[in-house]
Amino acid sequence: MTMNAYKLFNIVFTDKDKEFMTSNFRLAETVAEFIGPHCEVVVHSFESFEHSVVKIVNGHHTGRTVGSPITDMGLKMLRAFEKTGDATPKSYFTRIKDGSLLKSTTCVLAGENEKPIGLFCVNANLSYPFTEIIKTLMPETASASIGVNENFSSSPSELIEKALENAIIQVENDEKINLKGKNKAITKLLFENGIFELKEATNTVAERLGITRHAIYKYIREFRT
């Protein structure tokens, strides 16, 4: 069946559908940034099969740009979704024009009332030099600073405790902060990192620092002004 045979099935988008579709653009950039330049990320819209690519990052792998048409695999997935309602991401291998091997994962995007509005596709070029792929997953040098402290906690209380511990260590190691100003400095670090957005934070920090909740609130008011 040719692409033109599907023309009548182009989806009519509502404003909410368009808004949801656009919200995936930043996700595409995020995934591509994480995996690296050897990975192409594409957002297809079912609003027009002939010009379905509405967002693409690292499109040089397949030579596509915004406005390129949907693939035959994309049409096949849409037909399968219409028959079964199965939106489970699908992974498969394929070769592109230059012979490069891709591993692809594609999922159906649902819009208003769960109707299919597009596809989110990740295509990793496995023919890309392996050494280049590894470089994107590692610091640039052996001495590179890995200074981002991200706490992967299983509960809010654990997250607060870890963030508080890190803040205390950071302030304790800063010789410019005198003893009197340590509690305020610790609270400021936690405030700047958004920890007080968690409900348990004020009580936990106050108890650990040996000060009252009112003192914490006072510091926060100062920081906000």
What would the pLDDT profile of 48-87 be if each residue is shown by its tens digit?
888 999 999 999 999 999 999 998 888 888 888 888 887 7
Using CA atoms, how far residue 78 sits from 74, 118, 166, 221, in Å, is: 6, 8, 49, 53
Mean pLDDT, to the nearest integer, of 116-125? Answer: 94
pLDDT averaged over the chain?
Answer: 87
Selected residue with higher pLDDT from 197 and 150: 197
Neighbours of 102 (CB within 10 A): 20
Q: How big, in percent rounded to 5, are the helix, strand and coil portions of the chain? A: 50, 15, 35
What would the pLDDT profile of 30-53 be if each residue is shown by its tens digit?
999 999 999 999 999 999 888 999
Residue 146: what pLDDT?
52
Is residue 102 scored above 70 in pLDDT?
A: yes
**Model-level pTM?**
0.70
Residue 181: what pLDDT?
93
Q: Do the beta carbons of residue 49 and residue 75 sit within 8 Å?
A: yes
Is residue 26 scored above 50 in pLDDT?
A: yes
User: Alpha-carbon distance 96 to 105, whole Å?
Assistant: 15
Using CA atoms, how far residue 219 sits from 133, 168, 196, 216, in Å, is: 46, 16, 12, 5
User: Alpha-carbon distance 190 to 204, whole Å?
Assistant: 12
Collapsing DSSP to helix, strand or coil, 108 comes out as: strand
Q: Which residues pair with 93 in a beta bridge?
A: 103
Q: How buried is residue 53: exposed, middle or buried, by Cβ count under 10 Å (0-12/13-18/19+)?
A: buried
Residue 7: what pLDDT?
40
Q: Which two tokens stand for residue 154?
A: 């299983």
